[in-house]
Structure 1
Amino acid sequence: MSLPFSYQQMLVEQLNVPTKLIKSYSSLDLTETDMMVIIQILSFQQQDELLPSFDQLAENMTINTNEVSNILRKLKNQGCLSISHFEDENKVTQEWYSLQPLIEKLYNQEGSSNSKEEEGKLFSLFEQEFGRALSPIEIETISHWLDEDRFNPSLIKTALRESVLMGKLNFRYIDRILNEWKKKGIRSVKDAKKSTNNHQANKQQEPVKKRDTSVYYNWLEE
């Protein structure tokens, strides 16, 4: 007696879709229809149809080929889809819809939110060290370091710490430190500490220059 339903067949025919994508697609500004197009692409690629046509994708959906085309364009513009090339085993160049940008974007979200949280703490740290609220110009300066110069928040914290240790707590001095590190290609706290240690070691090795007293009059021996 054959069973009307084959659980084994379902396992063979199932499609793997990341759970994180199912739970978080809306945070990427994707709609349910966008998701279904993505699922259709995955389904075709599982059957070795790497670059399904608009007609093929629309065939299993309730939208037409023009709508499929618009969604694919949207996914590409949002950095969720690309058309990539590779050489198969016969050295023939093949094209396929790559969803690698979508996966990278999906799993980088957590790191991005952590970065924003770290940036928020940075402003609080500056206010704590300066003992007052930051002025609009000072806030703009920190934002410039983050957005334009692309300094890591931890590197900015290190520059702030350097200014405190040197007794020169002001934005101009911190900016000079960061710009000097930028010229030297220093983009991490580890590199900054290494540069500081090397500078201090070189200072200690420099011979102490004796002052030439021959040009000075010795009033004590008069």
Structure 2
Amino acid sequence: MMKTNLLAWIQEGNITIPTILFSEYRNLNLNEYELVLLLNILTFLEKGHEFPTPDELSARMTISISECNDMLRRLIQRGFIEITDECTNEGIRYEKYSVIPLWERLVEHFLKNNKNTKETDKQEDETDLYTCFEKEFGRPLSPFECESLAMWMDDDHHDPIIIKAALREAVMSGKLNFRYIDRILFDWKKSGIKTIEQAKTHGLKFRQKQTPKGNVKGETHQPTVPFYNWLEQ
């Protein structure tokens, strides 16, 4: 779906292709001559000239007609452009260049890079998460604890940020253990809590309900902060 949408936006002119080509042509294994040739083809297509000849294209470049012809053939063979056979309303057949293969290559490259970036970010978040737990526990995590962390992320699909929030809740409550944190995460998932803001609001509402309304006359007590005992839920 993402690839289809991007291709539609490109064809409608909502995405500026020359800019993307300039930044990505090397990653597509195109050289500068091939880049300029593609840009010239795009220019002709935008002006309604759908099948410029090697003579017309080479006239805009510093290469010969023969070199231009060879380059066009290589671009077709490598799947960057194609020649399609079209037909007018009057039944007259004609050929035209199609740059849809080029759009597809760019979109695939973009999606691949985006996926790699997300995977890198996820790995960094997971590494940071393990570091946070070891810092709070004051020791390396056991194999069982590492497995629990992995299950929260992979099986229960908890965001690392939410897991950190549950860790902080356990620290504040003075109940720093994995069973307690697991119960917090279970309750949050059941309550539909998926963001750090929702977790904070959920905890704040509970604490407001649990705050003592007042002290008995003549008695003085040190103010206390109520904490949620998730294990009793």
Q: How many angstroms apart in 2 are the aligned matches of 1:196 and 1:118?
A: 24
8 Å contact kept, 2:129–2:164? yes
Q: How many angstroms apart in 1 are the aligned matches of 2:182 and 2:36?
A: 49
Q: 1:101 to 1:125 in 2, by over 3 A?
A: same
Higher normalized contact order (CA 8 Å, seq sep 6+, divided by chain length) = 2
**Aligned match of 2:24:** 21
Once the two structures are superposed, the pairs formed by residues 1-222 of structure 1 within 5 Å of their partners are 15-18=18-21, 20-22=23-25, 25=27, 32=29, 47=45, 60-62=72-74, 68=79, 97-98=103-104, 99-100=106-107, 102-107=109-114, 109-110=116-117, 112-204=119-211
Deviation (angstroms), 1:118 = 2.5
Letter in 2 for 1:32: N
**Aligned match of 2:84:** none
1:60 counterpart SS class? helix
Deviations 1:104-131 (A, max 9, x none): 5435654543332222121111112122
TM-score with structure 1 setting the length: 0.52
Q: Percent identical across equivalent pairs?
A: 31
Deviation (angstroms), 1:17 = 3.4
2:167 counterpart SS class? helix
TM-score with structure 2 setting the length: 0.50
Deviation (angstroms), 1:22 = 4.6
Letter in 2 for 1:116: Q
Q: How many angstroms apart in 1 are the aligned matches of 2:153 and 2:168?
A: 17
8 Å contact kept, 1:21–1:106? no
Deviation (angstroms), 1:147 = 2.4
Deviations 1:180-213 (A, max 9, x none): 111222111111101111222233489xxxxxxx
Unaligned runs of 5+ in 2: 1-16, 49-69, 81-99, 214-233
8 Å contact kept, 1:37–1:68? no
